Structure 1
Amino acid sequence: MSDKAFLARREEQWSSAQALFKHLGQLQRLQFGLISEASGQRHTTLLGPLREGQLRQPSAAEYWEYWVDFSQRSLLYWDALRQRGDNTLAYERAGYPLLLKFPYEILIDGRELSRPVNYS
């Protein structure tokens, strides 16, 4: 390959690299503009009621109502867990085994295979 051909090829590669970077820069600016526009629309939609004064601070009575509701739901949740535990203990005392505890035998141990696996 002659020097002129070599230099021409290098110049062609350089110009294509420059064109690539130019196009990538244009795409980056376009993408940034689209993201900025979408972000602005989202902020306008979400923060509009706050700017217009449509959102207000809850009153003390509303806080108290929320606290009462939260307390009642918490008590019901813990009571349901207590009842479930009591039922499980009564089931075991009656001589019945736990449903997910049963006798089994290992047919193939995955750890002893030519390509060991994590399960049997």
Structure 2
Amino acid sequence: MTGWTSDELATIGQADELELASQRRDGSLRDPVTMWVVRDGDDLYVRSMHGRAGAWFRGTQTRHEGHVRSAGVDKDVAFVVDADPGLNDRIDAVYRSKYGRYGKKYVDSVVNPASRASTIKLDPH
């Protein structure tokens, strides 16, 4: 695996949304789901507002691979689940800072214990 380029990190990190499509068992991609994405250092993270029970999250568990698209960046990725729980406070802070303008009600949907348990690090191929 290769890392994100500095341009990709900046572009996706500043974008409001990311489209994520996970791979099915047969290798085809599911329909993309639009979600919030945050950057912490050289890494990008997404969370399910429905925790591990969320449909798109469960889809990432089939092959742990898929494709993301955001602000003109298209990339195949691996989904690293169980990202370091020690990062949760930092990731929460980035969500609050980046998306706070949408209001506490919406931000709280991704900074709660169930959502924290669904944190996925996106590793580019």
Calculate the TM-score normalised by the size of structure 1.
Answer: 0.16
Q: Which structure has the higher relative contact order (CA within 8 Å, separation 6+)? A: 2
Report the structure number with the largest CA radius of gyration: 1
